A and B are shown apart, each in its own frame.
Chain A
């Protein structure tokens, strides 16, 4: 693998002196592969050393469009000034490594939310990150989908609001996956239907923007990861998702990821984006975000109950739906 990769890079760069060290698989789950490696080459008298990450999906025989989409999206984000690993080379052939892959910079740092929230080492990061997260989101929402050919991103149908299509989708999923009555969900769905924001400004939306999907260090935010759920929609969806209760890990006095207040987050976003944040619109997406997470706890328990995966952890998630129900009631009755 190492030799074929080195040969690939040699062709891309146009040099013969490529060496790869420390190729190792990082945690990434069964369905996707993430490898770390250190690359060195010489070109035009300059020696280049790059710590890199390789992203590959193992199972496809045909061209893997998803890796290409991720590559293009990361490249667009980087061009817009969003802190993301810089991507280098994409391979859509299967000869080199058996499946499509790409290489990007390896960013050092931490991702685990509890460390950010508890460790003394990140005290300064805790102070700085609320505003950093707001500024970074403004940059994400500035990504030009036309200039960067991001037409593969799912978008609402013409004339349809993203809020309506998301609410419809999740209500359908809820009714499909369980026959059990959830009056708290019914109250929330009703509340959301009566407050559907229209007239979307449509932008790139990250879709899973939260602590847990960012790399951070002592000085705060370093990179935004996990762009698999990116789509086109209402940018306020990302602000709302960041405030969903589950991402506070118990620090409920700080609604933004357990580290900050909504006001600071919104102000930083406004200053960086030049747009006003409508708190009522964000509240809609925050309520919908809590409802989505509540539905996901039911889906995860169902995976165990249907016998697909036997897991006491998945089963126990079915008893956490009530936590989201209490939060929904709190939000819609405030």
Chain B
């Protein structure tokens, strides 16, 4: 076990330093890059907070979509690896035209959209808030995952 601060608290400390001390002291492209760097830290914090839940939800959706129930690996690296493989299988099936027709087309789109929404909830939640005010015919914003 590590001592306080937790990794999230350390990341927050670095983020705060960049935002309040570094960005105001710079100009031009370096200022822009410093802002990007602070934003990258917020992405990492949201990913750390949400990864486990998102990976498992994606896994269970794939069980439904692929009509193949597998137990999720308990090791996080194995889970990511196996998810990647199963997603590649899904891509192969889409390439072969299996998702061209309903009802599977709708099932696949719903899963893929939710996976993309989960990605955006980590990478850029503001984008999702803008999306949810558009009439997109059934899109639901991701879970509230602000760090």
Chain B residues numbered 107-129 whose CB sits less than 8 Å from any CB in chain A: 108-109, 112-113, 115-117, 119-120, 122-124, 127
Q: What 10 A-B pairs are tightest by C-beta distance, nearest first?
A: A322-B119, A319-B123, A186-B94, A181-B87, A181-B88, A325-B116, A181-B91, A183-B112, A186-B91, A322-B120
Is A20 part of the binding interface, using a Cβ–Cβ cutoff of 8 Å?
Answer: no
**Which residues of A are found within 8 Å of B87, using beta-carbon distances?**
181, 183
User: Majority SS of interface residues in chain B?
Assistant: helix
Q: Do B99 and A190 touch (CB < 8 A)?
A: yes
Across the interface, A187 reaches (CB within 8 A) one of B94, B134, B137, B139, namely: B94
Q: 14 A-B Cβ contacts within 8 A?
A: A182-B91, A183-B94, A252-B130, A253-B134, A312-B33, A312-B37, A315-B40, A316-B43, A320-B124, A322-B119, A325-B112, A326-B131, A329-B116, A330-B139
Is A147 located at the chain interface by the 8 A CB criterion? no
- CB of B37 within 8 A of CB of A323, answer no
Contact A186 B116 (CB under 8 A): no
Contacts A182-B91, A311-B33 known; list 8 others, CB within 8 Å.
A181-B87, A187-B108, A187-B109, A190-B97, A190-B99, A319-B119, A322-B119, A333-B109
Complexed CA–CA distance, A186 and B98 (Å): 12
In the complex, what's the smallest C-beta–C-beta distance from B101 to chain A, in angstroms? 11
- Which A residues lie within 8 Å of B116 (CB)? 184, 322, 325-326, 329
Q: Name A's B-contacting residues (CB within 8 A).
A: 180-184, 186-187, 189-190, 194, 250, 252-253, 311-313, 315-316, 319-320, 322-323, 325-326, 329-330, 333-334
Q: Which residue of B lies closest to A322 (CB)?
A: B119
If over half of A's interface residues share one DSSP class (helix, strand or loop), that class is named, otherwise mixed; here it is: helix
A186's closest neighbor in chain B, by CB?
Answer: B94
- Cα distance A213–B115 in the bound complex, in angstroms: 34
- When the two chains form the complex, which single residue of B40, B94, B117, B124 contacts A190, counting CB atoms closer than 8 Å? B94
